[in-house]
Structure 1
């Protein structure tokens, strides 16, 4: 099993600091999440029903066409694990650095994983030379990327998609962090053959514990995915909360504004501490350092938990949720960097 952020119990045990004293900035989840209402008793007592209107709500919220296939899933992680089983072994491009569960899942299903770095897609790439795509059957892209925060414009992604589908390929776009920047989403183009878009409530809505998300795709892929997932993949309470959250457009608008202000503040705090800023999104900011584990341990000794990306020399910081937490982070950085 790969390691992820949010391993708070492990940190409590390692450092001997009570759970209540920790400031957990390791997950990139909105610290001021959508306020969950009381859930009616009936929702707990009945099996989920696929015709409850949730799929239509997902389409309207995401900007997808009413004719697009929508598959509610127990978090986008469920789709990440299931999609590799829908194709025979092939060559799959995965962004590096990036969310490692993608490569892990495709590799476990017998596919050949091809790391795709910035020399192909970023500042080092030359113009629109997309020939690197010709050695792939599937390209998985994380937009915005985690942990770099890089966003690939929709026009570029659609160009990649067109090239892949000429040979029966897929473009899988993981938009787990997209809700704060919806103008860059590909959901409006979902339904094109070979285009698969993953969305999640875990990050922007702060509902990671609900394990709720959706896949937007063409009907062939969606039908295969439903078969693999089986009946009732998403529980009734999660479906109920998902429907309520997605229709609360006032909260979404206010949250986008608040997250951007918090992200700007976090970037300023990190740079003021002398750290080298490398990228981010409205939900996290990332710095590069020669010894990320050392700095992470210095912060953990003060009960501040951050996410280490050892291979790429990065530390990712989530957002503080209130003024007291901001002051704690500033003090912990000052102590750690001067140590």
Structure 2
């Protein structure tokens, strides 16, 4: 299937279509092939600032040969689930299952609830709505958290992507209490590693009707590893694990995750580093007349000049995240090194 046909199929699942002969809109960040088609004269290398992935990846540990040659062991999976429960705050390893990225979990979770009304607090990551539609739900994008209470499937991205909106833990607890165990509430905490302490609701996953998603690749800068975690009551965890089947997560991913999740000093130092770098990014964006908001892994700006700025940055070889449905918004990731910071500063000057 051609790239154009694939893009058309994605757009059809989202209720969109592209004009004949037009370049398909950017669906997700990180697509440098799309950026090269969009800006063919841009200088190389392109600087990818279109994702919220940590540009300072966790240093890979020594890799035993059997991580590649043997099937992943249940013991390694159990060790990583125990570490994930500890780091993320889930009650214990029985409340956690691992998956090859949280993306694969979205339709599985949506399928746990009989087709009904799904409410997604937005604007937010579009894959939640798409997964709910694929599971047969009548999907509603809502802007008031109170609208999540009566939904059969409720989705909250916290911190939110792309604007960093953060609901306090008490507010999420109130929503859960008001729902009274109805259906399922999915709280996507993909960017929670850089949020203030005490906001995550992973510790509440002994409650039925709550599923919490955590992403490994974003904070640890290893998105290509494809590793995520689900925290929920053990019965939900067991059902999802059964759907994923044996050996869902590679031995390589388990080896790296075991080292990274156990490395509290790295985690602490990285949170401090990212907080400092996002202040540096804010200074650049503010100096360009923009008002940034977001998390310590990305910043969003909103301006009537956003489409023009996107074009100017793209022609300079800097790829930021644009949004077809929200053309006034742009999202900036963190530059990886001093040369990249200099390129961004020059392009914004």
Give the equivalent residue in structure 2 for 1:316.
331
Q: How does 1:105-116 map to 2 (within 5 A)?
A: 105-116=131-142
Q: Secondary structure at the match of 2:213?
A: strand
Q: How does 1:277-296 map to 2 (within 5 A)?
A: 277=292, 279-296=293-310
Q: Secondary structure at the match of 2:220?
A: coil
Give the equivalent residue in structure 1 for 2:81.
55
Give the aligned CA root-mean-square deviation in angstroms: 1.7
Question: Deviation at 1:210?
Answer: 0.2
Instruction: Confirm or deny: 8 A CA contact 1:29 1:203 kept in the other structure.
Output: yes
CA distance in 2, matches of 1:33, 1:165: 40
Question: Deviation at 1:105?
Answer: 0.5
Question: Deviation at 1:297?
Answer: 1.7
Q: Where does structure 1 lack aligned partners over 5 or more consecutive residues?
A: 122-129, 335-339
Change (3 A) 1:67 1:6: closer
Match of 1:306 among 320, 324, 337: 320
Query: How many residues are matched?
Result: 321
Q: Secondary structure at the match of 1:306?
A: strand
Instruction: Confirm or deny: 8 A CA contact 1:94 1:113 kept in the other structure.
Output: yes
Question: Deviation at 1:144?
Answer: 0.4
Question: Deviation at 1:19?
Answer: 8.4
Give the equivalent residue in structure 2 for 1:169.
183
Q: Secondary structure at the match of 2:166?
A: coil
Question: Deviation at 1:331?
Answer: 0.7
TM-score, length basis structure 1: 0.90
CA deviations 1:146-186 (Å, max 9, x no partner) are 011011011111111122234x3222110111101243111
CA deviations 1:267-305 (Å, max 9, x no partner) are 11111001233x210001100022533321211100000
TM-score, length basis structure 2: 0.88
Q: Secondary structure at the match of 1:51?
A: helix
CA distance in 1, matches of 2:75, 2:287: 52
Give the equivalent residue in structure 1 for 2:102.
76
Instruction: Confirm or deny: 8 A CA contact 2:32 2:48 kept in the other structure.
Output: yes
Give the equivalent residue in structure 2 for 1:259.
274
Question: Deviation at 1:107?
Answer: 0.7
CA distance in 1, matches of 2:94, 2:164: 28
Question: Deviation at 1:68?
Answer: 4.4
CA distance in 2, matches of 1:217, 1:209: 25
CA distance in 1, matches of 2:286, 2:131: 36
Instruction: Confirm or deny: 8 A CA contact 2:335 2:341 kept in the other structure.
Output: yes
1:11 and 2:35 aligned:
yes
Instruction: Confirm or deny: 8 A CA contact 1:139 1:170 kept in the other structure.
Output: yes
Instruction: Confirm or deny: 8 A CA contact 2:117 2:137 kept in the other structure.
Output: yes
Give the equivalent residue in structure 1 for 2:14.
none
Change (3 A) 1:88 1:29: same
CA distance in 2, matches of 1:91, 1:19: 47
CA distance in 1, matches of 2:125, 2:148: 20
CA distance in 2, matches of 1:320, 1:183: 28
Give the equivalent residue in structure 2 for 1:41.
65
Q: How does 1:102-251 map to 2 (within 5 A)?
A: 102-117=128-143, 120-121=144-145, 130=146, 132-166=147-181, 168-181=182-195, 182-251=197-266
CA distance in 2, matches of 1:20, 1:240: 34
Give the equivalent residue in structure 2 for 1:64.
90
